[in-house]
C-alpha cells in the first residue's frame, strides 16, 4: 500500500515532494521564516501499512518568541551596562570538593552560582507576545558582569563558562546561572593538628569600572554557617557573603576529624615517650640502654617527618610537631645522662662522706628507695656468722690417754675441749672448719694440764711402777718449765725416767700442735674466703659499692626528672608554638 500526499502546511513546506509515498517513507515539514511548528505536532511523519500516516499534517504559526527576541535585542548594546543604581544579587553553593591538598593549601571544587540583576531595556508586555513569561537568550547577546576569581591557583583558568543561556523575565529581571570548576588558595590553621582547621574563600569580584554593587541574595542564609556535614576526613560547613559590595564570596570551613591521626600518629608518639622510661628502669648490666633509647629517638623522627609532610609550612610549627621536637631534645639529653650513669656503675672506690649522706641517705629516701647506706655493708654487716661446731665422733684409733683422760690426734677437737675455755673459735659450714688461733703460747698453756705433783714430790713413793702404767699416771705438769729445774739427789728412779719421757713426749706434741695450728689457720682462712664468696653468689648478696648504689639513685632521679620535663613540655610547646 501507499500513502497519499497530505499537501503543504500553512506557511511552510515539505520534503520530499511526491504524490504517493511508499510504506516506511518519511516526510519532513518546515515552516517559513517568522513561523514555527505547532508544539502539538512533530516535524517528521512516516507512512504506515494500509496507506495511513503516523501523524496528522503539522501546522505552522507565527514565531512569537523569535519576534519577541528580535524586538528586545533590536538596537540593544551588550557592552552598555544597566543603570548605576542596579544591584547584582547572587546565590549558590559549593557542589562538590574535587581535591584538597593540605600541604599546598589548595582546594579544587565545583561551584554553582546564580547572578540576578535588573535591565530596564529588556522588558515587554506578555499579552502582546502570546503571554510569554520567560525568554532564553545566549549570554553573548546581552550585558553580563565581568567577574574575576580571587586567590586563583590555576594559571589556565579563563573565567566563568561562556555560551550559557540567560533567562529574561517580562519585568527585565535577568538570571545568569553558571557552573564552574575553581582552584583556590585556602588558609590552613595546622597548629592544633590533628584537630586543625582550614578555611577556603572562593570570591568573585566585579570590575572596578562597573558601578553596580554586589549583594547576597540568599536571604536568611547569608553570612550564616550551614550545618556541618562529613566530607572524607573533614567536617564541612558553608556560607555565602558579600565582601565590600564588590565581591561575591563562598566560604568553606573544614575541620579535621582527629580520630584517624590520633590512632596512627599521636598514639604511637605517646607510647614512644612512655617507653623511653624503660631506659631508666632497665638494669644497667642487662640489655643495652643506649641502643634502646636511640631506637625510640629515631622512631620519633619518623613521626615528625610524617607530620611535616602532611601539614603546610607556616611561620610557627604545629603544637604537635613542636612537642615532638621538645621530647626528642629531652630524650637526647637524658641519653647523655644515661651514658654517664653507665660509666659510674663499675667504678671502684667509695664516695665522700658528704656525697654519701646526700645521695645514698637523703636523696634515696626522697626518691622512695629507702636508706641505701644500710645496704652498703650487706645484710649481715659484712661478717658471716657460723654456728659453733658440734661434738664429733672421733675414730677409735685416734684416741690416746694422757694423764688418765682421752685425747685425740685431731687438733681441732682437743683445742675446742681444753679446760672449759675457748682459746680458739671453731666454726663449721657444710662440714668445713675454721680455727682462729690466738697465739702459740696460749696453745702451749691450754692444750694440756697435768693433774699431779712434781717428780720431786713423788720421790718418796715406795715400790716399782710398771712401765706399761706410766702412760696413765696423773701429773699436773711435766716439769717446772718456767721455774728452777729440779736436781735429783741421786740416780733417777724408774718413775722419774717415765715422767721425763712423758714430758718429752708432751713437748713434742705441743710442737706438732703448734705447727698444725699454723697450717690449719692458713687453710681455714682460705676455706672461709671461698665460703664467703660462695654464700654471696648463692644469696645474691654480692658486695655493693658506693657507685653502684649511686647509679641506682641517679636512675630514679632521671626518671622523675624526665616525667616532670615531659609534663612541663606541653605548656611550653603551646607557648612556643604561638
Which domains, ranges and CATH numbers included, belong to the chain?
2-62 (2.10.70.10), 68-257 (2.70.170.10), 260-348+562-577 (1.20.58.390), 396-538 (no CATH)
For residue 365, what are the contacts with CB-CB under 8 A and spacing of at least 6? 371
Report the pLDDT value the prediction gives residue 463, as an integer from 0 to 100.
39
Percent of the chain with pLDDT over 70: 77
Report the pLDDT value the prediction gives residue 238, as an integer from 0 to 100.
94
For residue 18, what are the contacts with CB-CB under 8 A and spacing of at least 6? 5
CA distance 406 to 409: 10
Q: 2 in helix, strand or coil? A: strand
Is residue 41 pLDDT above 50, yes or no?
yes
Q: What is the mean pLDDT of residues 428-447?
A: 40
CA distance 23 to 53: 9
Cell numbers 535588573 correspond to: 118
Report the pLDDT value the prediction gives residue 263, as an integer from 0 to 100.
93
Report the b/e string of 107-120 with b at 16+ CB within 10 A. bbbebebebbbbbe
Report the pLDDT value the prediction gives residue 220, as an integer from 0 to 100.
80
CA distance 294 to 308: 21
Alpha helices in 240-277 (DSSP H): 259-261, 267-275
Is residue 406 pLDDT above 90, yes or no?
no
Alpha helices in 311-401 (DSSP H): 319-345, 353-355, 364-366
CA distance 53 to 5: 10
Is residue 470 pLDDT above 50, yes or no?
no
Report the pLDDT value the prediction gives residue 158, as an integer from 0 to 100.
84
Read off the pLDDT band of 456 (50, 70, 90): very low
Please write down the HEC assignment for all residues of 24-80.
Answer: CCEEEEEECCCEEECCCCCCEEEEECCCEECCCCCCEEECHHHHHHHHHHCCCCCCC
Cell output for 143: 550585558
Element (H, E) at 189: strand 173-189
**DSSP readout, 469-500?**
GGGG---S-SS-SSSPPP--SSS--HHHHHHH
Point out the least confidently predicted range of 58-62, 72-76, 350-354.
58-62
Q: What is the mean pLDDT of residues 373-378?
A: 64
pLDDT tens, position by position, 413-429 = 443 344 444 443 443 43
CB atoms within 10 A of CB 252: 23
User: Helix 546-577 and helix 319-345: axis angle, to 10°?
Assistant: 170
User: Could you tell me which residue, 374 or 58, shows the higher pLDDT?
Assistant: 58
Q: What is the mean pLDDT of residues 358-386?
A: 72
Report the pLDDT value the prediction gives residue 307, as an integer from 0 to 100.
87
Q: Cα separations (Å) of 110 from 80, 93, 416?
A: 30, 9, 109
Cell output for 470: 706410766
Ramachandran region, residue 433 (left: φ > 0; alpha: ψ -120 to 50; beta: rest)? beta
Query: Over the Cα atoms of the chain, what is R_g?
Result: 59
CA distance 221 to 106: 26
Q: What is the mean pLDDT of residues 472-488?
A: 41
Is residue 168 pLDDT above 90, yes or no?
yes
pTM of the model: 0.61
Is residue 473 pLDDT above 70, yes or no?
no
Report the pLDDT value the prediction gives residue 492, as an integer from 0 to 100.
61
Is residue 535 pLDDT above 80, yes or no?
no
Report the pLDDT value the prediction gives residue 538, as an integer from 0 to 100.
56
Report the pLDDT value the prediction gives residue 36, as an integer from 0 to 100.
83
394 DSSP 8-state letter: P
**DSSP readout, 403-444?**
TTEEEES-HHHHHHTSTT--SEEEEEETTEEEEEE--HHHHH
Cell output for 517: 695450728
**Beta-strand relationship, 87-101 and 213-216:** parallel
Report the pLDDT value the prediction gives residue 275, as an integer from 0 to 100.
93
Amino acid at each position: 500500500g501507499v500513502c497519499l500526499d497530505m499537501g503543504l502546511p500553512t506557511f511552510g513546506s515539505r520534503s520530499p515532494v511526491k504524490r504517493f509515498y511508499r510504506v516506511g517513507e518519511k516526510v519532513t515539514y518546515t515552516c517559513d521564516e517568522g513561523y514555527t511548528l505547532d508544539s502539538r505536532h512533530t516535524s517528521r511523519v512516516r507512512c504506515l501499512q494500509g496507506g495511513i500516516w503516523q501523524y496528522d499534517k503539522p501546522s505552522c504559526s507565527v514565531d512569537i518568541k523569535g519576534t519577541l527576541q528580535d524586538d528586545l535585542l533590536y538596537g540593544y548594546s551588550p557592552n552598555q551596562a544597566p543603570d548605576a543604581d542596579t544591584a547584582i544579587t547572587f546565590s549558590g553553593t559549593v557542589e562538590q570538593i574535587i581535591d584538597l591538598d593540605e600541604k599546598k593549601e589548595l582546594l579544587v571544587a565545583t561551584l554553582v552560582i546564580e547572578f540576578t540583576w535588573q535591565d530596564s531595556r529588556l522588558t515587554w508586555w506578555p499579552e502582546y507576545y502570546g503571554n510569554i513569561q520567560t525568554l532564553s537568550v545566549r549570554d553573548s547577546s546581552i550585558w553580563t558582569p565581568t567577574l574575576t576569581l580571587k586567590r586563583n591557583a590555576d594559571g589556565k583558568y579563563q573565567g566563568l563558562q561562556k555560551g550559557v543561556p540567560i533567562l529574561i523575565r517580562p519585568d527585565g529581571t535577568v538570571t545568569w546561572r553558571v557552573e564552574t570548576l575553581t582552584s583556590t588558595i585556602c588558609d590552613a590553621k595546622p597548629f592544633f593538628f590533628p584537630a586543625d582547621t582550614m578555611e577556603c574563600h572562593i570570591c568573585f569580584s566585579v570590575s572596578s569600572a562597573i558601578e553596580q554593587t554586589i549583594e547576597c541574595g540568599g536571604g536568611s542564609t547569608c553570612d550564616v554557617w550551614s550545618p556541618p556535614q562529613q566530607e572524607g576526613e573533614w567536617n564541612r560547613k558553608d556560607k555565602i557573603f558579600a565582601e565590600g559590595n564588590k565581591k561575591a564570596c563562598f566560604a568553606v570551613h573544614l575541620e579535621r576529624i582527629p580520630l584517624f591521626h590520633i590512632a596512627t600518629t599521636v598514639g604511637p608518639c605517646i607510647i614512644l615517650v612512655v617507653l623511653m622510661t624503660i631506659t631508666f628502669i632497665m638494669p644497667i648490666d642487662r640489655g643495652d640502654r643506649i641502643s634502646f633509647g636511640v631506637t625510640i629517638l629515631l622512631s620519633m623522627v619518623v613521626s615528625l617527618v610524617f607530620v611535616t609532610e602532611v601539614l603546610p609550612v607556616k611561620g610557627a610549627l604545629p603544637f604537635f610537631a613542636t612537642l615532638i621536637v621538645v621530647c626528642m631534645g629531652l630524650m637526647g639529653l637524658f641519653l647523655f645522662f644515661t651514658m654517664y650513669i653507665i660509666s659510674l656503675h663499675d667504678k671502684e672506690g667509695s664516695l665522700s662522706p658528704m656525697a654519701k649522706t646526700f645521695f645514698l641517705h637523703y636523696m634515696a629516701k626522697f626518691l622512695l628507695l629507702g636508706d641505701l647506706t644500710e645496704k652498703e655493708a650487706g645484710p649481715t654487716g659484712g661478717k658471716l656468722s657460723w654456728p659453733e661446731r658440734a661434738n664429733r665422733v672421733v675414730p677409735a684409733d685416734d684416741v690416746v690417754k694422757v694423764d688418765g683422760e682421752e685425747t685425740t690426734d685431731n687438733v681441732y677437737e682437743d683445742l675446742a675441749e681444753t679446760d672449759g675455755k675457748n682459746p680458739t673459735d671453731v666454726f663449721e659450714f657444710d662440714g668445713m672448719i675454721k680455727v682462729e688461733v690466738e697465739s702459740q703460747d696460749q696453745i702451749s698453756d691450754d692444750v694440756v694440764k697435768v693433774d699431779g705433783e712434781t717428780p720431786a714430790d713423788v720421790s718418796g713413793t715406795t715400790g716399782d711402777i710398771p712401765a706399761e702404767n706410766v702412760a696413765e699416771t696423773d701429773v699436773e705438769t711435766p716439769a717446772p718449765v718456767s721455774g728452777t729445774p729440779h736436781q735429783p739427789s741421786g740416780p733417777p728412779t724408774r718413775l722419774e725416767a717415765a715422767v721425763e719421757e712423758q714430758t718429752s713426749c708432751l713437748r713434742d706434741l705441743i710442737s706438732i700442735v703448734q705447727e698444725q695450728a699454723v697450717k690449719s689457720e692458713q687453710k681455714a682462712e682460705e676455706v672461709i674466703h671461698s665460703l664467703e664468696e660462695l654464700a654471696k653468689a648463692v644469696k645474691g648478696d654480692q658486695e655493693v659499692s658506693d657507685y653502684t648504689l649511686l647509679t641506682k639513685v641517679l636512675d630514679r632521679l632521671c626518671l622523675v626528672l624526665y616525667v616532670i620535663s615531659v609534663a612541663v613540655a606541653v605548656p611550653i610547646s603551646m607557648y612556643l608554638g604561638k
